[in-house]
Amino acid sequence: MEYNIRLANKEDVNNLAKLKQRVWDETYRGIYDDDIIDNFDYAKSANTFQNIIDNVSISLYVVESNHELVGYMSVGVPIRKYADYNQEIGLLYLRKDFQHQGIGRELFNIGYDKIKNNGYDNFFISCNKYNINARLFYEKMGGKLIHEDEDIGNKRYIQSKYHYDIKNR
């Protein structure tokens, strides 16, 4: 399967919003309320992606296959601040049909190397507590669970956070 990883640009924002809805449907159906997925706000999502692209402290990478976006990842300053962390890998998503092929690992390594090359010695990743596949992936990539939200209310907001130390690889 051929694919390309590149930095996102403003022409990608609408396709990123469509991809986000698809990934949410594949990943969070049964975790998020169906209403959130079924009534996804594409314009709001495109605007969020545009703001990330415009932020010089965050790099947004996209995975493209056959001229179609199939995944994305952000790396840089935390989109949502957590503790004393100055860096995060966030928004790491791939369509289901592109998972388990090493692409997620490649994205992770791009983020890891970018953080390392920018002189930081650690970072965090946050994911939904109920996204078991993501949690297993982040643990496989060396993440140490450092925080888990209590189960209160909407499962959409319950997060697990993983710490990573930058090492000389």
DSSP of 27-96, one letter per residue?
A: HHBTTB-HHHHHT--HHHHHHHHHHHHH-TTEEEEEEEETTEEEEEEEEES-SS--TT---EEEEEEE-G
CATH classification at residue 114: 3.40.630.30
Model pTM? 0.95
How many domains, in total, are found in the chain?
1
Q: Which residues form the domain of 126? A: 4-165
**pLDDT value of residue 169:** 52
**pLDDT value of residue 142:** 97
Mean pLDDT of the chain: 96
pLDDT tens readout for residues 83-121: 999 999 999 999 999 999 999 999 999 999 999 999 999
